[in-house]
Structure 1
Amino acid sequence: MTSSKPGMTRIEAGENAVPRRRRAIEAGLAIGLVLLIAVGAVVASTISRHEDAQAAAPANNAAAELKLGYFANVTHAPALVGLSKGFLQDALGSTKLSTQVFNAGPAAIEALNAGAIDAAYVGPNPAINSFVKSQGESVSIIAGAAAGGAQLVVRPTINSAADLKGKTLATPQLGGTQDVALRAWLTSQGYKTNVDGSGDVAINPTDNAQTLKLFQDGKLDGAWLPEPWASRLVLQAGAKVLVDEKDLWDGSLSGKPGEFPTTILIVNKKFAAEHPDTVKALLKGHAKSVDWLNTAPAAEKTSVLNAALQESAGAALPADVIDRSLKNIVFTVDPLAGTYPKLLKDGVTAGTTKQADINGIFDLAALNEVTGQSISAAGLGKG
């Protein structure tokens, strides 16, 4: 039995069926191709949307390691506390935190500019000097840490500025914040000083621990020092305060009488550009340290700081030294940006820097984002 029409031979019917089968196959292929193209378009669209979403999402720019510098001073308590209580490492998460202890700012700045560290707690004048020398390319100030806590302490026989002529004084390091403060103050008193140690008053930049010993041995007449070293000379070596630096700041520049920046947090600009999330994490840990210092019970604060000083400097301090030091310091994330034109001017007067435009030295945007505050850069950068 066949399906051919009447009158067709078997061969004719078979020949006629071949084109029909071919057309059916071709039609099926065409439909399949259309479906394949449609499916391909959907898949391509999905992939494209996924890639677009990936491009829109922020890249993971966390650094593998953050190398941080600080001093074993009570004025660097936010660093000491942040390390001791784990605030900094906790905020940094998987980023490894490595640290290096310095005696003064210029040495820390040198290490930062050489790439040995990425961020540092330093005094403001070394940061200004680095910014000026690099024409704004080296560092950014990203937060404050401590205000106050620096004094000129001298022998009991010295009662006024007039008694300093021909005397020998010390500072932690040439070009450091206390060195600049001393030289600028002596200039205001009519004295001439030189960076080579000559002049009406000799200034010998000296390691803080060595300053204490030299003073005790009668080889120094005094020193302009940060805490706890000012307190150590007073309580352990019989010195007296001739100038408390807070008395030189009336608040007209910062809006906070008696407050001047002693310790700030800076970061290498290249590191900050490559790892902005790591900088934010560092600031979170830093802000937590400052908050803790402003709220912790006095006894706990003394205990934690002494343990941290023991680890970083190899020696703890008597409770009275810690207590006196803390009374002279205000811990704040505000770098007091309004004081920086004067700090620059003092550096020029001291002969340790040159007059320059320091606009752009601050980048407080991340700090304000992290803390929810509106800390001003005083027109000298991002706030």
Structure 2
Amino acid sequence: MNLGVGQSTGLTETPGAGNPPDGERSIELFRPALRFAACVAIVAAALSGCSSGSGAAAGNRLRLGYFPNLTHATALLGVANGTFGRALGPGVELRTSQFTSGPPAVTALLSDAVDAVFIGATPAVNAYLKTKGNAVIVAGATSGGAELVVRAGIDTPQQLRGRTVADPALGGAQDVSLRYWLQQQGFQVGTAGDGDVHVAPQDNAQIAAAFAAGAIDGAWVPQPYAAQLVGKGAHVLVDERELWPQGRFATTELVVRSSYLKAHRETVVALLRGLVQQTSQVGVDPDAARAQANTVIAGINGTRLADADLAGAWSQLTFTVDPLLSTVREYARRGATVGVLPAGDLTGLADLGPLNDALRAEGRPAVAE
């Protein structure tokens, strides 16, 4: 059911329910503990330098994370417009944290530095497996918005042999999609940049420069990065929507710690009502939403998308609260198949009870798990 409408590692925190906010890389949770500890240190250091807001007790507080990306537009706008704050009400303090990559976002969730976070499908799977069920999907946010874009002269999959192709992070959704697609084309691809096609995971913010310098020949990236590369002379070889039934796949999910959900279910339901409302508002006036999202992102990272890049990127996205769980599980299967994600039991990966309560309260049909 479709209930929607068609840099460097870091974090900043903005306290207050109505305050405007000032890539995505999947955390490799199956890597050695040293890397996890390093991410904990990064998150702890970042949070220690942020304002703590009004100091409300934990029972009256929701700490929410998201990314300054178009694929997180409903989160960006829900905070900037005060939609989330109004839905939560005056009794709940909303503290928001902006992340620029997946590892600190997931680590913040696992280390009790945030209570809920908007992240991609494969980080959501990793978080669930790592915590043995203490991080569950409660809603979707976005579908679509990922493409394989390549330089001129590459017009068929076989012309990628011997070439270097980037994606945002080892084990991330685009990394899984790229490796799985290459495997389907008959290529052998290693996890150390070896094989018939050299896959080079790197931060989204570095990919455009690497392409311009000739260090990579293409990239499988989310929007707006794909549109930006097209603006620099690349062209689309694969639109990921073409690889999924009805062109729909999970791009951004809302994940909550199970312990927080159990203790503060009404708060989570209220947040989800805000997400449903904001998703509906995007559908009512998508042009205004697109322009405002661009302004909010520019306020965070200092970069405003060109009109052509913005329009191209936005056209790839569908905003929906349906988490499209079958595609999340398929991402997990594909990731395990290509050797970049651990296999595990995903029973209990999602709890859609709070979302369906929110949908009923907003007069909308429920979502089936």
Answer yes or no: same fold by TM over 0.5.
Answer: yes
Alignment partner, residue 80 of structure 2: 84
1:110 aligned onto 2:102: no
Alignment partner, residue 203 of structure 1: 199
Secondary structure of the residue aligned to 1:286 is helix
Structure 2 letter corresponding to 1:289: Q
CA distance in 2, matches of 1:336, 1:97: 27
Alignment partner, residue 353 of structure 1: 341
**1:297 Cα deviation from its structure 2 partner:** 4.7
Higher helix share: 1
Alignment partner, residue 9 of structure 2: none
1:130 aligned onto 2:164: no
Contact kept in structure 2, 1:143 and 1:264, CA below 8 Å: yes
Alignment partner, residue 316 of structure 1: 304
Find the partner of 2:241 among 219, 243, 246: 246
User: What TM-score do you get using the length of structure 1 for normalisation?
Assistant: 0.77
Find the partner of 1:332 among 320, 326, 333: 320
1:280 aligned onto 2:269: yes
CA distance in 2, matches of 1:346, 1:233: 26
1:302 aligned onto 2:290: yes
Contact kept in structure 2, 1:103 and 1:207, CA below 8 Å: no
Count of residues paired in the alignment:
308
Find the partner of 2:179 among 176, 179, 183: 183
CA distance in 2, matches of 1:183, 1:143: 27
Secondary structure of the residue aligned to 2:310 is helix
Structure 1 letter corresponding to 2:366: S
User: What TM-score do you get using the length of structure 2 for normalisation?
Assistant: 0.80
Find the partner of 1:232 among 201, 213, 228: 228
Higher-Rg structure is 1
Secondary structure of the residue aligned to 1:63 is helix
Alignment partner, residue 268 of structure 1: 257
5+ long unaligned stretches in structure 1: 1-60, 252-256, 378-383
Secondary structure of the residue aligned to 1:196 is coil
CA distance in 2, matches of 1:358, 1:263: 18
**1:341 Cα deviation from its structure 2 partner:** 3.1
Secondary structure of the residue aligned to 1:152 is strand
Structure 1 letter corresponding to 2:302: G
CA distance in 1, matches of 2:136, 2:210: 36
CA distance in 1, matches of 2:200, 2:252: 22
Secondary structure of the residue aligned to 2:194 is coil
1:259 aligned onto 2:254: no
CA distance in 1, matches of 2:196, 2:65: 35
Contact kept in structure 1, 2:110 and 2:131, CA below 8 Å: no
Structure 1 letter corresponding to 2:179: R
RCO (CA 8 Å, sep 6+): is it higher in 1 or 2?
2
**1:197 Cα deviation from its structure 2 partner:** 2.3
Structure 2 letter corresponding to 1:316: R
Q: Once superposed, what is the RMSD of the aligned Cα atoms?
A: 1.6
